[in-house]
């Protein structure tokens, strides 16, 4: 039986129900409400943890032909297009890409008009101000502003409410089932928008794409994106795009929480480090290209190593060169001491590091250019930024 809180929600026939209170859901809800629809947004997280991965977001990438108050210089359609094609290796829906890129011109203005604040251009610590606009206070602050605006135009939110089923009739949504307030409720709507994120918090599902390695993954985003809505849609015949093992996998600190570790858990040390796997072997060129261009390949690389773990060994000179980490580094005066603290075979580690050092040329390094300072004659060559010399 609906109670006092659930009754008004259940009895109403909503024009639109939005599943998912992240950026996608809330923006869709606002757009609909601004056109006069009655809108309900359902989020499975409690209010304090609302907004899925959006609460972890730092910035957005937007095309612009002239400097704006929040973006420097210009980021043309062509430049954006090239960046996208390079990152996706050309596997891109070109029509969708064009719509998105051109639409991004309006983004900061659209969000700004709805109360979202950006850091002024040039004040960011990351040197990305020509491509990316930074939310003042990050994604959670942006989401707070959007939700505030949404509520002010009459949108209703319910939290801690998980959608478990979608009833489709001839391809049209009739109603949905929600677990809310300890009850299973049946909500009617004229149209449904699903924006309930991915399935990254469901490790079993990830394992379908990644195998057992997935069990050791740390999910730095929300624990609430379990893909339940995706599963229902797929079961009802929706078509899947992409592949099960495609995701943005970055290297994060092994001491980070299982879920929700967010940005602060990332490892920025790789180009300044010698990275060893569990067997104290190097497995990839740590200095292949500029950081952060190579930032997003290291999750996948570490996922391919035994037990999905690796160790970034940094010398005293390297420590100053990257953003500080949230977890205190484990330190020691010798490679053997350090690696035995880490539970690695000290002899093997020493051998790997010695042969690395032996292959290093002497002299200063410059982290801002590909300086051509590379190791010679190793299995996993290291280009650039040779800085381990203990």
Ligand X SMILES: Cc1cc2nc3c(=O)[nH]c(=O)nc-3n(C[C@H](O)[C@H](O)[C@H](O)COP(=O)(O)OP(=O)(O)OC[C@H]3O[C@@H](n4cnc5c(N)ncnc54)[C@H](O)[C@@H]3O)c2cc1C
- Which positions from 33 to 72 touch ligand X by CB under 6 A, shown as an x/- string? ---------xxxx-----xxxx-xxxxx------------
DSSP string, 18-59: EE--SHHHHHHHHHHHHTT--EEEE-SS-GGG-SGGGGG--E
Q: Is 124 in the site for ligand X (CB under 6 A)?
A: no
Segment near ligand X (CB under 6 A); pick from 86-94, 121-129, 189-197, 359-367: 189-197
Minimum distance, C-beta of residue 16 to another protein, in the bound complex (Å): 22
Q: Is 330 in the site for another protein (CB under 8 A)?
A: no
Q: Is 218 in the site for another protein (CB under 8 A)?
A: no
Listed in sequence order, the DSSP H helices in the chain are 7-11, 23-34, 77-88, 94-103, 107-113, 138-152, 203-210, 228-235, 298-303, 335-341, 346-358
301 Cβ contact partners less than 8 Å away, ≥ 6 residues apart? 251, 283, 284, 310
Which partner in ligand X, another protein, none is near 195 (CB below 5 to 8 A by kind)? ligand X
Segment near another protein (CB under 8 A); pick from 121-129, 186-194, 309-317, 377-385: 121-129
Residues of span 124-153 touching another protein by CB under 8 A: 124-125, 134-141, 144, 147-148, 151
Cα 342 to Cα 330: distance, rounded to the nearest angstrom: 8
Q: Is 262 in the site for another protein (CB under 8 A)?
A: yes
And the tokens for 102? 């051109």
Minimum distance, C-beta of residue 191 to another protein, in the bound complex (Å): 27
Tokens 């989401």 belong to residue: 143
In this structure, the strands spanning 132-134 and 59-61 are antiparallel
Minimum distance, C-beta of residue 268 to another protein, in the bound complex (Å): 9
Cα 384 to Cα 370: distance, rounded to the nearest angstrom: 6
Considering just the CA atoms, what is the radius of gyration of the chain in Å? 24
Beta-bridged to residue 277, according to DSSP, are 310
Chain residues in the site for another protein (CB under 8 A): 46, 48-49, 55-56, 58, 117, 119-120, 123-125, 134-141, 144, 147-148, 151, 257, 260, 262-266, 320, 323-326, 328
Binding residues (CB under 6 A) for ligand X: these are 19-25, 42-45, 51-54, 56-60, 162-163, 195-197, 220-222, 224-225, 228-229, 262-263
């Amino acid at each position: 039986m609906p109670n006092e809180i659930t009754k008004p929600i259940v009895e109403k026939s909503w024009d639109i129900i939005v599943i998912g209170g992240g950026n996608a859901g809330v923006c869709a809800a606002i757009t609909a409400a601004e056109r006069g629809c009655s809108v309900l947004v359902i989020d499975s997280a409690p209010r304090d943890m609302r907004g899925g991965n959006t609460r972890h977001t730092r910035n957005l990438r937007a095309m612009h032909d002239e400097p704006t108050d929040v973006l420097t210089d210009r980021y043309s359609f062509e430049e954006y297009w090239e960046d996208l094609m390079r990152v996706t290796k050309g596997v891109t829906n070109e029509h969708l890409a064009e719509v998105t890129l051109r639409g991004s011109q309006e983004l900061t203005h659209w969000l700004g008009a709805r109360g979202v604040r950006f850091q002024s251009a040039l004040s960011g610590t990351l040197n990305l101000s020509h491509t990316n606009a930074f939310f003042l206070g990050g994604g959670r602050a942006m989401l707070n502003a959007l939700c505030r605006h949404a509520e002010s135009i009459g949108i209703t939110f319910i939290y801690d409410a998980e959608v478990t089923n979608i009833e489709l009739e001839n391809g049209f949504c009739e109603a949905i089932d929600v677990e809310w307030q300890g009850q299973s409720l049946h909500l009617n709507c004229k149209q449904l928008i699903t924006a309930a994120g991915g399935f990254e918090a469901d490790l079993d599902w990830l394992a379908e794409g990644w195998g057992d390695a997935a069990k050791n993954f740390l999910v730095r985003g929300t624990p609430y994106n379990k893909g339940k809505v995706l599963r229902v849609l797929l079961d009802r015949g929706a078509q899947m795009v992409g592949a099960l093992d495609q995701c943005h996998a970055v290297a994060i600190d092994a001491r980070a929480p299982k879920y929700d570790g967010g940005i602060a858990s990332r490892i920025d040390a790789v180009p300044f480090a010698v990275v060893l796997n569990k067997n104290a072997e190097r497995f990839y060129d740590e200095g292949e290209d500029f950081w952060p261009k190579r930032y997003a390949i290291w999750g996948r690389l570490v996922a391919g190593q035994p037990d999905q773990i690796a160790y970034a060994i940094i010398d005293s000179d390297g420590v100053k060169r990257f953003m500080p980490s949230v977890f205190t580094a484990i330190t020691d005066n010798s490679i053997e001491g350090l690696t035995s603290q880490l539970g690695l075979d000290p002899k093997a580690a020493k051998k790997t590091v010695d042969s690395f050092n032996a292959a290093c040329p002497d002299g200063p390094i410059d982290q801002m250019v590909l300086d051509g300072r590379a190791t010679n004659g190793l299995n996993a060559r290291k280009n650039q930024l040779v800085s381990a010399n203990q």
